[in-house]
Amino acid sequence: MPEPLFELIDVVKKYDGRTVLRVKNLKLDENKVYAILGPNGAGKSTLLRLLNMLEEPTSGRIIFQGVDINRAGESARLRMRRQMCMVLQNTYLFNTSVYQNVAYGLQLRGVRGAELERKVKEALSFVGLSDFGSRRALKLSGGETQRVALARAVAVRPQVLLLDEPTASLDPDSVALIEKLVRRIHESTGVTVLIITHNLFQAQRLADEAILLYNGEVIEKAPVAQFFTNPQSDITRRFISGTMIY
Partner 1 sequence: MNADLLSSVWQFFCLRGGELSGIVGLSLMVSGSAVIIGAVLGIPLGAFLGLKRFPGRELLLRVIYTLMSLPPVLAGLLVYLLFARTGPLGFLDILFTPPVMVVAQVLLATPIITALSSAAIAAKEKLAMDTARTLGASERQAAWMVIKEARTGILAGIMTGFGRAFGEVGAVMLVGGNVRYQTRVLTTSIVLETRQGNYEFAIALGLILLLLSFVVSSVLLKIDDSKLR
In angstroms, the CA 87 to CA 145 distance is 11
> Of 19-78, which residues contact partner 1 (CB under 8 A)?
52-54, 74, 78
89 binding ligand ATP? (CB under 6 A): yes
> What's at 182, amino acid-wise?
V
Contact 206, 179 (CB under 8 A): yes
Partner from ligand ATP, Mg ion, partner 1, none contacting 189, C-beta within 5 to 8 A by type: none
Query: Which of 134, 7, 15, 150 lies closest to 70, judged by CA?
Result: 7
* CB closer to partner 1 out of 129 and 240: 129
Taking the least distance from each CB to partner 1, the nearer of 145 and 236 is 145
Residue 116 interface partner, choices partner 1, ligand ATP, Mg ion, none, CB cut-off 5-8 Å depending on type: none
Rounded Cα gap, residues 219 and 237, in angstroms? 11
Distance CA 143, CA 43 (A): 25
- In angstroms, the CA 191 to CA 156 distance is 11
Min dist. Cβ of residue 149 to Mg ion (A):
15
* Of residues 101 and 146, the one with the C-beta less far from ligand ATP: 146
Interface with ligand ATP (CB under 6 A), residue from 3, 10, 25, 41:
41
Residues that bind ligand ATP (CB under 6 A): 15, 20, 38, 40-46, 89
